[in-house]
Chain A
Amino acid sequence: MRLTSLVWKELRERPSAMLTSGLTILLGVAAIVAIRHVTVHAEGEVSRQLATLGANILILPRDASLQDYYAADQSGKTLPEEHVSEVFFAGLTGVEKVSPKLSVPAKLSGQAVTLTGILPQSEFKTKVAWQSVSLFAPKKHDGCQRVKSAADEDQSPESLVKNRSIEQLQKSEVVIGADIAQRTGLKPGGKASLLGEMFSVLAVLPATGTVDDGRVFAHLHTVQRLAKTGEVVNAIEIVGCCEDAAGDLVPQLGKLLPGAKIVTISQVVQTQVGVNRLIGKTSWFVLAVLVTIGCATVAGAIAANVRERRREIGTLMALGATPRFVSRMFLLKALWLGLGCGTAGSLIGIGLALCLGPLWAGVAIQPLPGLSILAVVAASGLAIAAAYWPARQAAKLDPCVCFQEV
């Protein structure tokens, strides 16, 4: 009988003991793989936000709480729209774009959507032109200010995703998010009825994986009129020239608008970074606990197995099996256990991350093959390490002593 046949028979004949240790390995690997998938992608999302929105600033109502940058305008709290003009009139250095937002609930084709009012940049032409006044102001800028050039700006409606602002939007037009378009089947040029008014669809935004996918964007003044909110907004997003300019703008904006809360993207993601760190540290703690429990369980199971099978081991050795053969038999058993349960745990972990990642962390998860393979290899290695001592004990058994015990 070959070594593999012996191990296979052993596993089939004594499944309960192996099931307990196998389940420990499976659950441990599944938990680690799921947690690491979520933390890795959450860290990636934070980095992406910092890279793409690093120079952005949010002006929010003072009592608004903020956990997600993209959902900043959904707090329900408002501030006066005139703050937008105040920002322009102040002639602050480094202000590239100002984008006020007001979000209200609405229904589109029977489905609940967030109707977000935005102001197209074309409506700020006059105020932007007046920034020349600050060129000759007695108090000189210390920072930078870009030359406005129409050529280097993406003016398509889809630029709303990347630039956080739109160049042109008529009062009877809407731009719809990717999820809404998919659910309603709406396409550019189509008609959409919102809050009792008919709009034409200007564009469908590409998917972003953020709450923006579930929004319908319309002209701010139209949304204010339909929702009867008055001249208010939920948030004003300022696109700074650069991160340094944004940093300098915060205290200036705080002074200009004392009744508002001014936050940078760095401050917003700081919370996310903190949560990610906590999850990361917790995952290592969980890993340590699971490794200890897993090793102890595997070692205990193999040791018990050795104790139960002293007679069989003695018989095998009396028939000519070498200590090395006996040792390899138990180690191979542990390897199969680690490999099988590790692989199953890894697949379950990926499945959990794919399902729960968007819900818990608000990030889209992609399987990480490297991490999964590493988890399987580690599980197998640990199972072998745990089985090493009992396997050695089995190999040291004296067949004569075994038979004397009978």
Chain B
Amino acid sequence: MQKLTRLAFCGMLAGILGIGTLASAQGPATRTPELSKAQAALAGAAESGKFAFIIFYKEDAAAFRTMAGNVKQGVETLDGKAGIVFVQVTNPAERALVERFDVSRSPMPLTIAVAPNGAVTGIFPKEITAEQIDQSIVTPTMTRCMKSLQENKMVFVCVQTSDKNFIPVAVKEMQADPQFKDRVTVVSMRLRDPEETRFVAQMQINPQTTTGTTAVLLAPPGVLIGKYPATATSAQIAAALHDAGKCCNDPNCKHGQGAAAQSNTSRRK
């Protein structure tokens, strides 16, 4: 029985590696020969616009096998949107990748979901569920926002109800402000873009009642500062940002009751 399980697992791993190899097989022209096997697979996935689930592990233990099996099953349901990359953290060849993700002293096994643009969209130590795998496949705008936030930048998501790319005056002023200009990224998206339905819902924007352009401000490490109509001023947004730097707007927090009373538009997640 144990032999059968091992055989099945080997077969499964071969299949998984096949997906990784498939991902890494694309775009060889831009790949440098120094890349490790895992780095090459990761680069390949990015080039083909796929998410990559990197499974970091120390040894071929039961927890790793379970996680690998769960990731494989989850990835199979994603219609080719993702690949799997295995990284043994003790392998000197993969040192660069381990250092890049700074996981040498992290709990193992560890799965990190990486978007094609390099943004980390999910971190799952020790175990992972199908739902978590599904949630890691975020929308294109979400990947752009996450990438900017992970680069320590603030993000204005301009949610458009029309096909025009309108940037509110306040956002333009913030972009021009020397205090913020190097730390602000502006991302536009269509409110009714079917690919962005999840993001729209998470930003709690009602497509039925929203008109014009709404600017949603996100700040690192992961704070939704507020949603502003096109008529909002840069002073209002700067004030909300300033309040968000204080501890804190949680209505349960005794330190933040004053700040919460001052800013009705800002919201903390």
Binds B, one of A240-248, A259-267, A278-286, A331-339: A240-248
- Complex Cα–Cα for A152 and B268 (A): 19
Question: Once the chains bind, are A85 and B125 in contact (CB under 8 Å)?
Answer: yes
**Across the interface, which residues of A come within 8 angstroms of B151, CB to CB?**
129
B10 to chain A, nearest CB (A): 28
Cβ < 8 Å to A, chain B residues 186-209: 199, 202
Using A143-B250, A144-B250, A242-B253 as known contacts, say yes or no to A129 and B220 having CB atoms under 8 A apart.
yes
| B232 contacts A by Cβ under 8 Å | no
| B39 contacts A by Cβ under 8 Å | no
* Residue in chain B with minimal CB distance to A256: B125
- Complex Cα–Cα for A137 and B254 (A): 26
- Complex Cα–Cα for A241 and B152 (A): 19
| B82 contacts A by Cβ under 8 Å | no
Question: Once the chains bind, are A129 and B152 in contact (CB under 8 Å)?
Answer: yes
**Across the interface, which residues of B come within 8 angstroms of A146, CB to CB?**
223, 244-248
Using A89-B106, A126-B102, A242-B253 as known contacts, say yes or no to A137 and B135 having CB atoms under 8 A apart.
yes
**Across the interface, which residues of A come within 8 angstroms of B268, CB to CB?**
141, 143-145
Cβ < 8 Å to A, chain B residues 52-111: 101-103, 105-108, 110
Question: Once the chains bind, are A134 and B222 in contact (CB under 8 Å)?
Answer: yes
**Across the interface, which residues of A come within 8 angstroms of B150, CB to CB?**
129-130, 132
- Complex Cα–Cα for A320 and B218 (A): 97
| B23 contacts A by Cβ under 8 Å | no
* Proximity bits, A118-145, B CB within 8 Å = 1, else 0: 0000010011111111111110110111
Question: Once the chains bind, are B221 and A245 in contact (CB under 8 Å)?
Answer: no
**Across the interface, which residues of B come within 8 angstroms of A127, CB to CB?**
102
| A13 contacts B by Cβ under 8 Å | no
- Complex Cα–Cα for A85 and B241 (A): 28
* Proximity bits, B222-246, A CB within 8 Å = 1, else 0: 1111000000000000000100111
| B21 contacts A by Cβ under 8 Å | no
- Complex Cα–Cα for A94 and B269 (A): 11
**Across the interface, which residues of A come within 8 angstroms of B42, CB to CB?**
none
**Across the interface, which residues of A come within 8 angstroms of B124, CB to CB?**
89
| B138 contacts A by Cβ under 8 Å | yes
Set B218, B221, B225, B250: member contacting A129, Cβ < 8 A:
B221
- Complex Cα–Cα for A89 and B225 (A): 22
Question: Once the chains bind, are A130 and B220 in contact (CB under 8 Å)?
Answer: no
- Complex Cα–Cα for A127 and B254 (A): 28
Question: Once the chains bind, are A145 and B222 in contact (CB under 8 Å)?
Answer: yes
- Complex Cα–Cα for A158 and B138 (A): 42
* Residue in chain A with minimal CB distance to B121: A133
Using A126-B102, A146-B244, A152-B245 as known contacts, say yes or no to A132 and B250 having CB atoms under 8 A apart.
no
B202 to chain A, nearest CB (A): 6
A142 to chain B, nearest CB (A): 8
Question: Once the chains bind, are A242 and B107 in contact (CB under 8 Å)?
Answer: no
Question: Once the chains bind, are B218 and A135 in contact (CB under 8 Å)?
Answer: yes
* Proximity bits, A26-56, B CB within 8 Å = 1, else 0: 0000000000000000000000000000000
**Across the interface, which residues of A come within 8 angstroms of B222, CB to CB?**
91, 131-136, 145
* Residue in chain B with minimal CB distance to A139: B135
* Proximity bits, B144-159, A CB within 8 Å = 1, else 0: 0110011110000000
| A84 contacts B by Cβ under 8 Å | yes
- Complex Cα–Cα for A130 and B151 (A): 10
Set A86, A132, A143: member contacting B146, Cβ < 8 A:
A132
* Proximity bits, A301-318, B CB within 8 Å = 1, else 0: 000000000000000000
A375 to chain B, nearest CB (A): 38
Using A85-B105, A126-B101, A145-B223 as known contacts, say yes or no to A244 and B252 having CB atoms under 8 A apart.
yes
**Across the interface, which residues of A come within 8 angstroms of B146, CB to CB?**
132-133, 135-136
* Proximity bits, A85-104, B CB within 8 Å = 1, else 0: 11001010010000000000
* Residue in chain B with minimal CB distance to A88: B123
| A2 contacts B by Cβ under 8 Å | no
| A225 contacts B by Cβ under 8 Å | no
B224 to chain A, nearest CB (A): 7
| B142 contacts A by Cβ under 8 Å | yes
- Complex Cα–Cα for A208 and B151 (A): 37
For B101, B151, B255, the residue with the greatest tally of chain A CB atoms inside 10 Å of its CB is B255
B139 to chain A, nearest CB (A): 9
Using A82-B107, A85-B103 as known contacts, say yes or no to A132 and B221 having CB atoms under 8 A apart.
yes
| B24 contacts A by Cβ under 8 Å | no
| B219 contacts A by Cβ under 8 Å | yes
**Across the interface, which residues of B come within 8 angstroms of A148, CB to CB?**
152, 219-221
**Across the interface, which residues of B come within 8 angstroms of A231, CB to CB?**
105
| B140 contacts A by Cβ under 8 Å | no
| A149 contacts B by Cβ under 8 Å | yes
| A406 contacts B by Cβ under 8 Å | no
* Residue in chain B with minimal CB distance to A151: B245
Question: Once the chains bind, are A242 and B255 in contact (CB under 8 Å)?
Answer: yes
**Across the interface, which residues of A come within 8 angstroms of B255, CB to CB?**
242-243
Question: Once the chains bind, are B221 and A141 in contact (CB under 8 Å)?
Answer: no
- Complex Cα–Cα for A138 and B268 (A): 15
23 contacts between A and B (CB under 8 A): A82-B106, A85-B107, A89-B110, A89-B125, A94-B248, A123-B102, A131-B221, A132-B149, A132-B221, A135-B223, A135-B224, A136-B146, A138-B135, A141-B269, A143-B253, A144-B268, A145-B248, A146-B245, A146-B246, A147-B225, A148-B221, A242-B248, A245-B250
Cβ-closest 6 pairs across A and B: A135-B222, A144-B250, A144-B248, A132-B149, A131-B221, A85-B106
The interface of chain B, by Cβ under 8 A from chain A, is 101-103, 105-108, 110, 120-125, 135, 138, 142, 145-146, 149-152, 199, 202, 218-225, 241, 244-250, 252-256, 268-269
**Given A148-B220, A243-B254, A245-B248, 14 further pairs, Cβ under 8 A:** A86-B106, A129-B120, A129-B150, A130-B120, A130-B150, A132-B145, A136-B222, A138-B135, A146-B245, A148-B152, A241-B248, A242-B248, A243-B255, A244-B252
